[in-house]
Structure 1
Amino acid sequence: MSDFVISLAPDAAAAMQGWLQSLKSERRMAAKTLEAYARDFGQFAQFMGDHLGGAPGNRELAELTVSDFRAFMARRRNQGVESRTLARQLSSLRSFYRHAEKTGLFRNAALSALRAPKLPHAVPKPLSPEKARQVAKAEALAGDETPRWVLARDQAVLTLLYGCGLRISEALSLTLAQAEQPALTITGKGNKTRLVPLLPVVRQAVALYRDLCPFALKPSEPMFRGQKGGPLNARNIQLLIARLRGALGLPETATPHALRHSFATHLLANGADLRVIQELLGHASLSTTQIYTEVNRAHLLEQYRKAHPRA
């Protein structure tokens, strides 16, 4: 921390120390967290020392413009820092400036105009094949009070999520006419249409539900129904999986979307081509599929060697 303090004028160094002390005493932050905050602000101070031509004091910190802050973020980005780290550093700076304003040292309105870096879309962790099958069967919640057709319905929906990689909205909008085709024609995000094969286990689950459902199912209407006969709501499936998490001892990351992620991850683990998985998921970009399936470097290198004529 001493190297960072040297990058600041005495009054700014005192402000930094007061800020860190308040984080420790008032917010009771852990030592490692305090160390990260100090490092973030220290890197900022070092940059500003070079940027301004001298160690900044409180007056200089108060007069920094949006361009000054952006220059620091751009330097860090050019050094290969990822968006999550940049977002954390921006959060550290805002915390320091809030403390400076709260204690009456100075204020700077420019920092509030700076947007945080866009973070990559987070994807849920996949379930193991065995756990995914247990969730799809939904047998852990079967009981005398559960109507057979409701259990069959839940199994059909969950089997579609895992067996076909559907989004929950896609599964619940399926019509009887769609389900009776050899393959599902799915219109997903961006009105992108894709064909998804129906595995025998998925077809059997849908057929059982259709046979047991007490309501008249019209070919052109969503076939999954709630207990009063209306279209099944996504919230019902979310609550169902929440109950299965408890029954099966699954983590909080086990969600309806985790079944879609498990579908893609298990295909990849068994040698499926990324382009095939991209088409099955309905992704417009292969890069999205790579993130979604947590592609490892070894697999990418293997695909490269197979595909590149000079590899």
Structure 2
Amino acid sequence: MSTALVPIAEPVATLPPAQADDDTQMVRLWLARSASPNTRRNYEREARRFLAHVGKPLGQVRIGDLQDYVAGRDGSSATVALAASALKSLFTFAQEVGFLRFNIGAAVKVPPIKNTLAERIMSEADALLMIRQEPDMRNRVLLTVLYGGGLRISEVCGLRWRDLSARDEAGQATIFGKGGKTRAVLLSAATWKVLVALRGEAGPDAPVFLSRKGGALDPSAAHRVVKAAVTRAGLPAEVSAHWLRHAHASHSLDRGAPIHLVQATLGHASVATTGRYLHARPSESSARFLGV
């Protein structure tokens, strides 16, 4: 009887199960991570553009391909930075779930962005003109809340009457905002007054801003309301709902509101984000001390 030892097989390293079968499924999983519909749209558009440009699967893309694409991406500095950020996010996620072996996005730097915030802050008179010239009551209240509350358009469209409560002569709105964060925003007496006048017999679960079909007003429809108000007031065509949010931050700081209070109202994650408004519209400059 043979006493030869039977060799023991070396353990074979097992790879994590594939989380996606192809690039299309991988991109879909990646996009599902974002809670913001706007971010998903922008990232999906950039991913499609990139894959069409390189003409090869994600697994065959090399660092040079990615670097060349970002370097040659046309558009403003913000557009190029968005492209770099989106693709870095895609390749990082693809490696994290085991779809790709390496994260080539780690070698790409996001280019700096020119700060154009000052160009997107309207005057207080222009913001009020948009509101006062709006003939429709619902739309006028919508514009008032965008400016007076400093809310994002998605936050305004998502409001239900149960999210609003009276506070003395004014009121409070509970906002489910960006990144799934909830914050409470105190509204001025003037803003609260026009909001209450809009309610009528609506129940607590009814949307504050109704569409023509009776459901919640869609953000795209709200954008059209804002654009119509912009045209009516004779303002530049690029003015959008977010300009009213910028105006809220800038005008409240100009009037002496503490920066941490503006940060809390707008739902900024960092006071540094709110501080951009101070840099965009400085109240003093050494240039004013010169004779030229």
Normalising by the smaller structure, the TM-score range is 0.5 to 0.7
Question: Is the Cα–Cα contact under 8 Å of residues 264 and 293 in structure 1 kept in the other structure?
Answer: no
Which residue in the other structure is 2:40 paired with? none
Residue 268 (structure 2) pairs with residue 279 (structure 1): no
CA distance in 2, matches of 1:239, 1:265: 24
Cα distance in structure 2, aligned partners of 1:282 and 1:293: 17
The 2-side partners of 1:293 and 1:193 are apart by 25
Paired amino acid for 2:239: A
Residue of 148, 163, 168 corresponding to 2:153: 168
Change (3 A) 1:125 1:188: same
Determine if the alignment matches structure 1 residue 186 to structure 2 residue 175. Answer: yes
- Which amino acid letter does the alignment assign opposite residue 191 of structure 1? G
> Any idea what the Cα deviations from partners look like across 1:110-137, whole Å, max 9, x if unmatched?
xxx9666253676461221111112123
Instruction: Give the structure 2 partner of residue 128 of structure 1.
Output: 123
Tell me the residue number matched to 1:250.
235
Conserved? CA contact 2:173–2:187, under 8 Å: yes
Q: What does residue 265 of structure 1 align with? A: 250
Task: Give the whole-Å Cα distance in 2 for the aligned partners of 1:259 and 1:115.
Answer: 32
TM-superposed CA distance for 1:299, in Å, is 6.8
2:191 aligned with 1:202: yes
- In the aligned structure 2, how far is the partner of 1:169 from the partner of 1:293? 25
Q: Tell me if structure 2 keeps the 8 A contact 1:132–1:162.
A: yes
Going from structure 1 to structure 2, the CA distance change for 1:234 and 1:199 (only over 3 Å counts) comes to same
Larger proportion of helix: 1
Larger C-alpha radius of gyration, 1 or 2?
1
| Alpha-carbon distance change, 153 to 191 in structure 1, aligned in 2, over 3 angstroms | same
Change (3 A) 1:226 1:219: same
Q: Secondary structure at the match of 1:186?
A: strand
For residues 243 and 182 of structure 2, the distance between their equivalents in structure 1, rounded to whole angstroms, comes to 22
| Structure 1 residues 180-222: Cα deviation after superposition (integer angstroms, max 9, x where no partner) | 34311212112222221111111111122113xxxx6331242
Residue 117 to residue 261, structure 1, CA distance change in 2 (3 Å): same
Report the secondary structure of 1:180's partner residue.
strand
Report the TM-score, using the length of structure 1 for normalisation: 0.52
Q: Give the equivalent residue in structure 2 for 1:238.
A: 223
* Alignment size in residue pairs: 186
Q: Is the 8 A contact 2:120 2:243 kept in 1?
A: yes
Contact 2:207 2:215 in 1 (8 A): no
Alpha-carbon distance in 1 for matches of 2:284, 2:271: 14
Q: In structure 1, which of residues 155, 169, 183 is the aligned counterpart of residue 140 of structure 2?
A: 155
Give unpaired runs (5+ residues) of structure 1.
Answer: 1-64, 74-82, 89-112, 143-150, 302-311
**Secondary structure of the equivalent of 1:163?**
helix
Superposed displacement of residue 291, structure 1: 2.2
Q: CA contact under 8 A between 1:136 and 1:162: conserved in structure 2? A: no
Distance, in Å, in 1 between the alignment partners of 2:115 and 2:155 is 20
1:119 to 100, 113, 117: 113
Structure 2: how far apart are the matches of 1:197 and 1:299? 30
Q: C-alpha displacement at 1:169, in angstroms?
A: 0.8
Contact kept in structure 2, 1:165 and 1:264, CA below 8 Å: yes
Residue 121 of structure 2 aligns to which amino acid in structure 1?
Answer: P
TM alignment of 1:1-311, pairs within 5 A? 84=77, 117=111, 119=113, 123=117, 125-139=120-134, 142=135, 151-182=136-167, 183-211=172-200, 217-292=202-277, 294-296=279-281
Please identify runs of 4+ aligned residues in structure 1 that moved more than 6 A: none
Pairwise CA RMSD: 3.4
Distance change >3 Å, CA 229–CA 259, structure 1 → 2: same
Q: Secondary structure at the match of 2:222?
A: helix
Distance 2:284 2:155 in 1: 30
Report if aligned partners of 2:153, 2:241 keep a CA contact under 8 Å in 1. yes
Deviation at 1:263, TM superposition (A): 0.4
Q: Secondary structure at the match of 1:278?
A: helix
Unaligned 5+ residue runs, structure 2?
A: 1-62, 82-106, 287-292
Q: 1:204 to 1:273 in 2, by over 3 A?
A: same
1-side partners of 2:253 and 2:184: how far apart? 18
Please state how far the C-alpha of 1:293 moved relative to its aligned partner: 5.3
